[in-house]
Structure 1
Amino acid sequence: MDTDKRKTRRTAANNDEARAPDTFGAAPRSVDGLRELAVRIGRDEAGLSLGGKAHTVLARLLERPEEVAVRTITDLATALDVNASTLTRLSTKLGYAGFADFQSVFRDSLAQRHRHFYTHQAERLVTHKKARARTRVDDGASPEVEVVAKLARESIGNVETFLARLSAADLRGAAALLADAPRVRVHGVRQFSALAGFLCYGLGMIRTDVALLDAQGIGVAQGLAHLQPGDVVVVSSVAPYTRSVAEAAVVAAGAGMTVIAITDTLASPLVPPARHAFLIPHESSFFSNSMGAYLIFCEGLLNLVAAHLGKRGLQALSRRERLITALERD
């Protein structure tokens, strides 16, 4: 009997060791900690073996932390082409109480990042400047020019990323909607109010009844009240998302308007209510959200709308030119 008990205790201990995510403590409570654990598991340094498939799934989850934070287990399993039970087993194998506990790590990390987004970006800029000052060699490069060149290279990278995942069907659908809808309203706040103004101005050159959703500052509800089902509302916001823009998108879709979203990731709250969502990255050393790729995307979208309008767009531009000439002559 004593021998059986000792065997049982040893088996339990071995099982606990197999489940332990970290030989030095509990399951990681940060995404960075999870990344470190994944690396140690790959090197066989964590006292835990996941198996090749499970380790690959973990790595793919860590590549898309924003999606893991907000999507359901079913959606994530479908995206990864695995069963939902695979994600549950992975979570418990890593030492979490279940998938919800595992997901909470990503949600907490996302919330923390959003709370301190601008400070974090500025800190990166200052840290880079100090590091260059410590290691600088006389390579003939101006540090001022380097700052601008670095941002340009980062914007090029963002453009290449969004080009790689653009959907031709979404582009055609959005261009047709923006050309043919009775009314178009564009909404963005803070930094993205500038993008909304640019898109609104461009559309207004080639068609009528285009405006900012809250152009007169009388409220989004008032702006939506002037629209009807079949009208189009374009919304734009990126992490850290502006709640009021996301709410406007949900309300507009619920009222029968068609929503087009220009945002950053599938985790964006602007994606669910949108018929067409365009994902544009904004990763850069700029202390706020980088706008370069967004402006290029909007220029491309405006060209597609103009091409769809054809003769109608040319007539609108011609009328505009006549009015400008008349005003200059006066």
Structure 2
Amino acid sequence: MSSKITRLEALTDISAFVAEVRASHATLPRKLQQIADYTQQFPDRVALDSITELAHQIGTHPSTLVRFSQHFGFSGFSELQRLYRDHLRSNSVGYSSRLEGIDDVGPADVLRAITQSAVQSATDLEASVDAELMDEAVRMLASANTIWLAGSGRTVAVQSYFQYLFTGLGMVSHALVSNLDQVGKYVDLMRPDDVLIATSFRPYSQATSATVIQARAAGIPCVCLTDTEVSPIYGPVSLLYSEDQFAGFRSLSATMSLALYLAIEAGRQRKEAQKSHFAFRNRGYDSR
């Protein structure tokens, strides 16, 4: 394993492991690259499926999965899978369990904690998101012919808000229904001058992940709002941040603020581009 991370980090910190896999991807043998790609696109399957099932899905042999694990310092595939299972388990606490944790908290304190959590999320957003990537996302959206919106679960509200904003700004957008069986048909409708905005947080929607993966494969530019580099939708233009939480409940304060920012700035850039275009045309007519 590379000296960039220690064995202990590899076994306990999935973000460090994923970063190391990405850093060494180009130097891996082709079969190990296939496994590396799969582990980053489908982390939940790595956590839950058997080694035989995973090997079949990837198109390789179980022994190659063992070799991949050992290449990064694990004793075998089971140890690597334990890392992914621990990551999945830590982000899969049920709502009933969350409610039990606040049995003794009064209504006023719940409201106060929720509002404080929302303020913290919005405050942390500016420090968390890469400014250059935000600028790139704005440029992509401003020049897009059509903006496609992918989300599932709680991020459906983000889809609706984006569409509301873009409609008001005169920008064409379409919200996709979260349906794994329809992903291919959706992607077939997209064109290279369109942009896909996808929003997904742990435990990550399979439909949203599949939409991003297929869209990228088809050459469709993607802007992704997600939480970590472990996310299956993580890519070149991914805005990484996290929402603060109260008793395991996460709001969408940062996400909605980011959606509003992207829409406003894209609308402003598009308006300026249109002004420049009309000014150029008018100069052309005046010179005749």
Superposition TM-score tier, normalisation by shorter sequence: 0.5 to 0.7
Displacement of 1:311: 4.8
Report 1:201-212 matches (<5 A). Answer: 201-212=164-175
Residues 210 and 218 of structure 1, relative CA distance in 2, 3 Å threshold = farther
Out of 217, 228, 235, which is 1:265 matched to? 228
The equivalent of 2:190 in structure 1 is 227
The equivalent of 1:65 in structure 2 is 13
The equivalent of 1:36 in structure 2 is none
Letter in structure 1 aligned against 2:111:
V
DSSP-derived class of the 2:174 partner: strand
Cα shift readout 1:297-326 (whole Å, capped 9, x = no counterpart): 111212211221235789xxxxxxxxxxxx
Report 1:306-325 matches (<5 A). Answer: 306-311=267-272
What TM-score do you get using the length of structure 2 for normalisation? 0.67
Displacement of 1:105: 3.4
DSSP-derived class of the 2:75 partner: coil
Displacement of 1:276: 1.0
The equivalent of 2:102 in structure 1 is 128
How many matched pairs? Answer: 229
CA distance in 1, matches of 2:114, 2:24: 33
Report 1:48-127 matches (<5 A). Answer: 65-68=13-16, 70-73=18-21, 75=23, 97=75, 103-114=80-91, 117-119=92-94, 122-127=96-101
Cα shift readout 1:194-229 (whole Å, capped 9, x = no counterpart): 111111211122133211134999933333222211
CA distance in 1, matches of 2:87, 2:140: 33
Question: Is 2:144 aligned against 1:170?
Answer: no
Letter in structure 2 aligned against 1:124:
R
Contact 1:237 1:262 in 2 (8 A): yes
Residues 298 and 232 of structure 1, relative CA distance in 2, 3 Å threshold = same
Structure 2: give runs of 5+ residues left out of the alignment: 26-69, 276-288
Cα shift readout 1:88-142 (whole Å, capped 9, x = no counterpart): 9996xxxx637x665443212023235xx251x5423422333x5xxxxxxxxxx
Residues 74 and 270 of structure 1, relative CA distance in 2, 3 Å threshold = closer
Letter in structure 1 aligned against 2:102:
H
Cα shift readout 1:221-268 (whole Å, capped 9, x = no counterpart): 333222211210111111011111101001001111101101111111
Question: Is 2:251 aligned against 1:285?
Answer: no
Contact 2:148 2:176 in 1 (8 A): yes
The equivalent of 2:285 in structure 1 is none
Residues 90 and 193 of structure 1, relative CA distance in 2, 3 Å threshold = closer
User: With CA pairs under 8 Å and 6+ residues apart, which has the higher RCO, 1 or 2?
Assistant: 2
CA distance in 2, matches of 1:250, 1:127: 37
The equivalent of 2:116 in structure 1 is 153
The equivalent of 1:33 in structure 2 is none
Over the aligned positions, Cα root-mean-square deviation in angstroms equals 3.6
CA distance in 2, matches of 1:239, 1:300: 23
Contact 1:124 1:285 in 2 (8 A): no
Letter in structure 1 aligned against 2:15:
E
CA distance in 2, matches of 1:218, 1:61: 35
* Larger radius of gyration between Structure 1 and Structure 2: 1
The equivalent of 1:296 in structure 2 is 257
CA distance in 2, matches of 1:150, 1:180: 40
Structure 1: give runs of 5+ residues left out of the alignment: 1-53, 78-87, 133-142, 315-330
Sequence identity (%): 15
Displacement of 1:165: 2.5
CA distance in 1, matches of 2:251, 2:9: 26
Question: Is 2:169 aligned against 1:184?
Answer: no
What TM-score do you get using the length of structure 1 for normalisation? 0.59
Cα shift readout 1:168-211 (whole Å, capped 9, x = no counterpart): 21111111111111111111112211111111211122133211
Cα shift readout 1:57-100 (whole Å, capped 9, x = no counterpart): 688779x83424645446399xxxxxxxxxx9996xxxx637x6
